[in-house]
Every structure is written in structure tokens, then in C-alpha cells.
Homo-oligomer: A and B are copies of this chain.
């Protein structure tokens, strides 16, 4: 899961370096979320970070290196949340928490979700080394948690793999498609309260749909 590409190695990062790298990564996230890898402009990222364009190439080898760095940050965040689920958990409680965590992520870091979405929609060429055999094994291990719940009679025998896609698709939709959601519901942005209502509805339907009783 680690394919960070540091521009320079060995030396301990100075305070200036850390601050500038963070500013660049933030500006890059916004630009890549809006235009994807190919459509993004290094010049626009430099402007957003408040630095001359040449400095980007000092901190990151090139456009692709910067893009990979942004993607890595996102993916680590996602995987750690999903790893919290275990076969020993109560499925109703665990799924409620997971849906809530994913929705919180969609609320707080929508740009990160969008960069990932754009990359996948574009064919995911930059993630070929991420989707390794190790990743497939990891995913199957995650699906096995759901299967364990089913085998223990704790939930309906739904297809675990498709349940995962349902969880991912429905929660990320609130980050990736928030523009559409706002327009049709006459909002300028999704508030914390809007997201709470959305999260509750989603939890209610999915839990009941899997034969689970909501937790108090």
C-alpha cells in the first residue's frame, strides 16, 4: 500500500520543507479533484500553493510523482477505516459505525474522494501497482468478515463482495456527486446535519436490507 515517491532521500525534513509540501499537496488535491491527472495544471497548483511553479519540481520529481503522493494519502485513509471491521464484531454495530465513518470522510475530505474517483473512472492506470495480488488477497480477507457474519447466522446471506460495493458506492456518492445533490435539493452545500440525515437513512436501509436490527 506504500508507493510514496520522495523527491530527495535521507535527510530529515526541515520545517520549511514540511510546510511547503503540505501546501503543495493541498493545492494539488483541489486541482486533481477538479480536472483529473491529465487536465490538471502544475501552474494552477503552484498558484494555489502560493509558490513559483519551479518549486513544485524541487519538492516533487514531476507531475506524476505529485499525483501519486496525493493518491497515496487518500488510499491509506480509506483502507485503515475498512480494516477496523472484524468477524468478532456485532455486524449491526460495526456496519453502523463503518457507514458513519465513511460518510464523515465524504463530508470532511470530499476532494480526496474525488481524486480517487476520477482516477478510477479514467481507467486507474496510475494504480496498477496498487491493485496487486496482495490487494486482492486483502480485499478477499475483508469480504471474509462479512461471510463469517453470514455463516454465524448473524445476517442474511447477501453477496459480501456486492455489499462492499454498495457500501462504497452509496457513501462516496455524497462526496463525489455533492454538486448534483446540492442542486436538486436547492442547497449551496451539504451541512453536517444534512450528512447526518443521509447517514441515518443509509444505515437504516442497508441494515434492514441485510436482515440486521439497528442498534440503540
Binding site for B on A (CB under 8 A): 33-40, 114, 117-118, 120-124, 131, 135-136, 139, 156, 158-159, 161-163, 165-166, 168-170, 172-174, 176-177, 179-181, 183-186, 197-198, 201-202, 204-211
Contact = CB atoms under 8 A, between A and B. Distances in A.
Given A118-B118, A165-B174, 14 more contacts: A36-B36, A39-B39, A117-B176, A120-B179, A121-B179, A124-B180, A131-B183, A135-B184, A136-B183, A136-B186, A161-B185, A169-B173, A205-B209, A208-B211
A206 B163 CA distance: 11
B121 A184 contact: no
Residue of A33, A139, A170 with most partner-chain B CB within 10 A: A170
A139 B184 contact: yes
How many copies of this protein are present in the complex? 2
Q: Is the interface of A mostly helix, strand, loop or mixed?
A: helix
Nearest to A171: B169
Contacts of A201: 158-159, 162-163, 166
Given A161-B185, A180-B124, A204 B209 contact: yes
Contacts of A198: 162, 165
B166 A177 contact: no
Contacts of A169: 169-170, 172-174, 177
